[in-house]
Chains A and B, each alone.
Chain A
Amino acid sequence: MRAALPRVGVVTLTALAVFLPLGLIFYQSLLNLPFFMPNKTVGVGAFQFVFADSDFWDSLRNSLVIATAMAVIAVPLGAILAFLMVRTDLPGRRWIEPVLLIPVFVSPMVLAFGYVVATGPVGFYSVWAKQLFGSVPWNVYSLTSIAIIAGLTHVPHVYLYSSSALKSLGSDVEEAARMAGSSPFQVARDVSLPMVMPSLLFSGVLVFFLGFEIFGLALVLGDPEGHLVLATYLYKLTNKLGIPSYHLMAAVAVCIVAMTFPLVMLQRVLLKNAGKYVTVKGKAGRQRPLPLGRWRWVATAIVALWLFLTVVVPLTGITLRAFVTQWGEGVRLSEVWTLHHFREVFNQPTLVRGIVNTVLLGVVGGAVAVMCYTAIGLATHRKNDGWSRFVDYLVLVPRAVPGLLAGLAFLWVFLFFPPLQPLRATIVSLWVAYTVVWLAYGMRLVSSSLLQVGPELEEAARSAGATQSQVSRHVTLPLIRYGLLASWLLVFMIFEREYSTGVYLLGPGTEVIGSLLVSLWSTGGADMVAALSVINVVLVGIGLAIALRFGVKLHD
């Protein structure tokens, strides 16, 4: 059992990183003052306050509405997109795929701000619509719009899971249906999609769960009409009492976790069952794209419309805003072009530091994070014992905690745990928070690579007398190195995009674009928000381009 020591170390460290902040949140929720104040007392006052606050119930209802609407919109649309992309001869599939995934990698703050500028009451597109129809036929600040936008931007999540399930199906049943006279859409509805039902169900639960975490979209779009969701309610509590009310925020966080944790567990069960269902698939391997025939243009229109609404509208909006001094009703865009905002960004040391930190965090931090994920992966690789099952659940826990709160908890950990204090004002604190928040995602990437290594290779090494660590170093790791590189790239993009985790950790030295966007948005630096958003999109774009250049699979 010599090799067990590093293993126990890795597991213990992970458990600490996960439970310490979570424990702090629970503890804080049961106090009446910040936990570091000497005159605090224990009680359930925070919960009483929250449950008596009508805003809480409003935000809970809105969260439920949005989460449900997201599942209702994203699942069918994502399924249809997956069917069109994977099973049919839709033109331009090769270049559509990366574009499809853009909403996953662009910060919702950026998207939301783009929607305000593009489709707000006097947005670029709204003004054009007004010229066409006489009035603006939509209200982007309504709860309905927020729900629709949230639904549309989460289509890729459904797409990812259903497309990988669809890929493993044979074509024979579809062809049979087509031969019997079904239209391609009937094939999708009655044959292909029912066969991947478990994956659809899983992604439905996933999207519903993500609905509870919506923060940026609701923060930007919900403000003017006062639509709150749970995460923005939590953010609002920062100021409601004039002085920060950590206990109230912690109480809301506990309520959120109480709802999301069962959903995370449900996802786990569904994901396990998803594989079982595929036993009814036809002869695998023999796949031929289904000819769409005259339905081709309908299919193209669906994809194009979705792309236009979800990618083109917000991104053109934000880009346009970044290059003008002012906008809106009565402004002639040709007269207000400027590069001033970008010059301003590069003149502000904080923002420059933010950009540098964001890149560092993505490139270096991403690499180190993948190393950590790999260490955890190796610690449980091919060992089906109590430790591994523990880690299995452990990595899912942070998934249930909204990034906003995880960031706050990590701030506390770094402030009040003396050995860590010197690291607080450095980007390391952010890195730890990011790595833990994205633990589940990273682990999935790494373990899918690990599972591709045939057990016989490792066994061969072991029977030749190699120790556990030698097997890992000389056999397993070299075999998964390309998988790890791909994981690094995906983690890079996720780290570039992340915004809520850094909000409370934001300080001198820990600036990143994501949290700067939230902070600048709330202090009203719209010019800077637009310019930084564009820079952020460019960074993510570079990551995406590299991924495509090297043929990284963007999903399994």
Chain B
Amino acid sequence: MKTFRRALLASLAVLALAPAPSQAQVPAGYPANYADTIAAAKKEGKIVIYSTTDTVSATPLINDFKTLYPGISVEYNDMNSTEVYNRFISEHAAGGGSADVLWSSSMDLQVKLVNDGMAMAYASPEIASVPKWAVWKNEAFGTTYEPISIVYNKRLLSGDEIPQSHEDMLRVFAQHADKLKGKVTTYDIEKSGVGFMLITQDSKYNPKFWDFVRALGTVGPRFQSSSGTMMERISSGENLMGFNIFMSYAALRAKKDPGIGIVNPKDYTLVMSRVMFASKTAKNPNAAKLWVDYILSQRGQTIIANQAELGSIRADVTGSMTEAGLSKTLGASLKPIPVGPELLEYLDQTKRLAFIKQWTQAIKGGK
């Protein structure tokens, strides 16, 4: 029985490895010993990913990765950002199996995990092709290029009712206060970590930030916990405009829904990037390395930009949703949020609660 099983396993292994020589070559420009990493990864045979990027968007990446490295299966789990964090720290504490790679849009939580020593240091061969702001300590990597936009309902807003910048929003709120009353939406910063991170970035880049918040207060904003719920409401006309919405989501929805309009604010457009790192305690560390390299590679980034619609950080990837494409129209107003310890600032409880309090009061003060 035992020998039979061993024979069966051996033949399965041969099957799995059979197409390997033709496909899994060391990518151009990688060190020669990368072949060892590939071989070790194949031995591991799988990779477990926790991610906030939904499976539909990630499927082209997963399929292409499997073509590139046959024999490595991808266990891809999409969940919300809190869940990624919670699950990872509790599984880490319990000592059971957890993810090999974490990939989340909650940049601050990812940086916190890296800061707490959960990440594997890995000098990916792709680092040189990635902007400096997207790499921290060779542990955390920004992987996407996603402008944060103003989204509005095209059927119901037109002309000077559509703000062109953060500053312009002040004017629109004042001029069209009646029409916009109760119909401007943005993140509930107490419920959404991403929303909170974006608004604190706003407070850095917008010189009239608190004026802006008070003006927002005067139109009685509606706070939602996700981009999706905001977009649903804007699309239906229940809300007329929203800000701090991921352009990637809005663009995807605008394809199906002609009522969705998108503006990238001219004074500054924040750009967020989904942060990825390989876990220090990964059960499949080599497969994890392959995945990180693949996502940062030109091949992976081309799919990220053109099929997953998330925007590429690489200068050598073309398309409308890439750094290269967006710089043409927006130039210096693009402000990528750097992957780094600055993101930890507002994870400090006292600071965070103080900010929330100030925000709430400013919103109320505007009414």
Q: Do A and B come from one complex?
A: yes
A239 at the B interface (CB under 8 A):
yes
A384 at the B interface (CB under 8 A):
no
Per-residue 0/1 for B185-200: is the Cβ within 8 Å of any A Cβ (1 yes, 0 no)? 0001011110010000
Contacts of B192 on A, CB cut-off 8 Å?
239
Per-residue 0/1 for A449-479: is the Cβ within 8 Å of any B Cβ (1 yes, 0 no)? 0000000000000000000000000000000
CB–CB A242/B236 < 8 A: no
Among B77, B193, B224, contact of A507 (Cβ-Cβ < 8 Å)? B77
Of the candidate stretches A168-176, A191-199, A366-374, A520-528, the one touching chain B is: A520-528
Contacts of B91 on A, CB cut-off 8 Å?
415
Among A224, A329, A331, A415, contact of B94 (Cβ-Cβ < 8 Å)? A415
Within 8 A of B (CB), among A397-415: 411-412, 415
CA distance A34 to B191 in the complex (A): 19
Among A349, A416, A506, contact of B83 (Cβ-Cβ < 8 Å)? A506
CB–CB A350/B346 < 8 A: no
Total count of chain B residues near the partner, CB < 8 A: 56
Contacts of A236 on B, CB cut-off 8 Å?
190-191
B93 at the A interface (CB under 8 A):
yes
Among A223, A411, A415, A507, contact of B225 (Cβ-Cβ < 8 Å)? A223
CB–CB B229/A223 < 8 A: yes
CB–CB A242/B109 < 8 A: yes
Q: Would you call the interface of chain B mostly helix, strand, loop, or mixed?
A: helix
Contacts of B175 on A, CB cut-off 8 Å?
none
Within 8 A of B (CB), among A96-132: 120-122
CA distance A122 to B153 in the complex (A): 13
CA distance A224 to B80 in the complex (A): 20
CB–CB A224/B222 < 8 A: yes
CB–CB B190/A524 < 8 A: no
CA distance A411 to B196 in the complex (A): 27
Contacts of B227 on A, CB cut-off 8 Å?
524
Per-residue 0/1 for B73-85: is the Cβ within 8 Å of any A Cβ (1 yes, 0 no)? 0010111101101
Known: A242-B109, A415-B96, A416-B94. A523 touches B228 (CB 8 A): yes
In the complex, how many angstroms separate the beta carbon of B239 from the nearest chain A beta carbon? 9
CB–CB A122/B236 < 8 A: yes
Within 8 A of B (CB), among A275-300: none
CB–CB A244/B86 < 8 A: yes
CA distance A226 to B91 in the complex (A): 33
CB–CB B93/A36 < 8 A: yes
B226 at the A interface (CB under 8 A):
yes
Within 8 A of A (CB), among B65-124: 75, 77-80, 82-83, 85-87, 89-91, 93-94, 96, 108-109, 112
Contacts of B269 on A, CB cut-off 8 Å?
none
Contacts of B82 on A, CB cut-off 8 Å?
238-239, 244
Among B79, B232, B349, B356, contact of A524 (Cβ-Cβ < 8 Å)? B232
Of the candidate stretches A8-16, A67-75, A320-328, A493-501, the one touching chain B is: A320-328
CB–CB A526/B94 < 8 A: no
In the complex, how many angstroms separate the beta carbon of B162 from the nearest chain A beta carbon? 16
CA distance A196 to B87 in the complex (A): 50
Per-residue 0/1 for B234-277: is the Cβ within 8 Å of any A Cβ (1 yes, 0 no)? 01111000000000010000001101000000000000000000
B210 at the A interface (CB under 8 A):
no
A59 at the B interface (CB under 8 A):
no
CA distance A122 to B156 in the complex (A): 13
Contacts of B136 on A, CB cut-off 8 Å?
none
Among A121, A416, A508, A523, contact of B238 (Cβ-Cβ < 8 Å)? A121
CB–CB B191/A239 < 8 A: yes
CB–CB B236/A329 < 8 A: yes
CB–CB A34/B89 < 8 A: yes
Contacts of B89 on A, CB cut-off 8 Å?
34
B55 at the A interface (CB under 8 A):
yes
In the complex, how many angstroms separate the beta carbon of A424 from the nearest chain B beta carbon? 8
Among B78, B229, B352, contact of A521 (Cβ-Cβ < 8 Å)? B229
Per-residue 0/1 for A474-486: is the Cβ within 8 Å of any B Cβ (1 yes, 0 no)? 0000000000000
B347 at the A interface (CB under 8 A):
yes
In the complex, how many angstroms separate the beta carbon of A2 from the nearest chain B beta carbon? 40
Known: A325-B256, A348-B56. A242 touches B237 (CB 8 A): no
CB–CB B94/A326 < 8 A: no
A330 at the B interface (CB under 8 A):
yes
CB–CB B90/A239 < 8 A: no
CB–CB B109/A526 < 8 A: no
CB–CB B94/A421 < 8 A: yes
B205 at the A interface (CB under 8 A):
no
Residue in A closest to B227 when the chains form the complex, CB atoms: A524
Known: A242-B352, A331-B236. A223 touches B224 (CB 8 A): yes
In the complex, how many angstroms separate the beta carbon of A361 from the nearest chain B beta carbon? 19
CA distance A353 to B193 in the complex (A): 28
B155 at the A interface (CB under 8 A):
yes
CA distance A121 to B229 in the complex (A): 14
Within 8 A of B (CB), among A326-384: 326-331, 344, 347-350
CB–CB B236/A508 < 8 A: no
Known: A238-B82, A239-B190. A326 touches B224 (CB 8 A): no
CA distance A225 to B238 in the complex (A): 13
CB–CB B235/A328 < 8 A: yes
A243 at the B interface (CB under 8 A):
yes
Contacts of A241 on B, CB cut-off 8 Å?
349, 352-353
Known: A241-B352, A416-B94. A523 touches B190 (CB 8 A): no
CA distance A121 to B227 in the complex (A): 19
CA distance A261 to B352 in the complex (A): 34
Given contact pairs A506-B79, A524-B230, enumerate 4 new A-B contacts (beta carbons under 8 Å).
A243-B85, A328-B236, A348-B55, A507-B83
Q: List residues of B whose CB falls within 8 A of some A CB.
A: 54-56, 75, 77-80, 82-83, 85-87, 89-91, 93-94, 96, 108-109, 112, 155-156, 188, 190-193, 196, 222-233, 235-238, 249, 256-257, 259, 346-347, 349, 352-353, 356
